[in-house]
Amino acid sequence: MHMAVHNITFDCADPYALGTFWSRLLGQPLSADDMPGDPAALVAGPDGAPGLLFLRVPEDKTVKNRVHVDLQPRGRTRDQEVARAVELGAEVCADHRRPDGTGFVVLTDPEGNEFCVERSAAERGSA
């Protein structure tokens, strides 16, 4: 028997606010019972994929994440998703896009957790 990843957990100051950001970014709802001020919030993964669990902790984030999420757009381009993520409150941390269209962008969520946006499958297929 093997184990399966159930959730990917983020320590944070405001689980509901951070969960709301990720819910909007991923187009997945927060759990119906999550409310502002709760000590935890969950964005369930689609079709049995791992969820994102946000837990309140007292300490601030102080160093670069050792684990991060890589996102691949569906129905939009990498650049469209980067712009949308910034509109939702993310910040570009490092831009690794290349003149030939390859590469990725590292962003941070509103609490400073890093994540990457890669090219979409369509963009990869057209290269």
Q: What is the pLDDT of residues 92-118, one digit of tens each?
A: 999 999 999 999 999 999 999 999 999
Tell me the pLDDT of the chain averaged across its residues. 95
pLDDT band of 126, cuts 50, 70, 90: confident
Angstrom distances, CA of residue 51 to CA of 31, 46, 100, 119 = 10, 8, 34, 22
Q: Which two tokens stand for residue 104?
A: 């990725």
The answer as to CATH 3.30.1020.10 being correct for domain 68-127 is no
Query: How far apart (Å, rounded) are the C-alpha atoms in residues 40 and 122?
Result: 36
Question: The whole model's pTM is what?
Answer: 0.93
Please say if the pLDDT value at position 89 is more than 70.
Answer: yes
Domain boundaries, given as residue ranges, for the chain:
1-59, 68-127
Please report the pLDDT score of residue 127 as a whole number.
61
Residues 6+ apart with CB under 8 A from 4: none
Amino acid at 46: P
Q: Which helix (H) or strand (E) holds 95?
A: strand 91-95
Convert the pLDDT of each residue in 22-79 to its tens digit: 999 999 999 999 999 999 999 999 888 999 999 999 998 888 888 999 999 999 999 9
Please report the pLDDT score of residue 118 as a whole number.
97
Q: Which helix (H) or strand (E) holds 21?
A: helix 15-26
Three-class secondary structure of residue 10 per DSSP: strand
What CATH number should be reported for the domain whose range is 1-59? 3.10.180.10
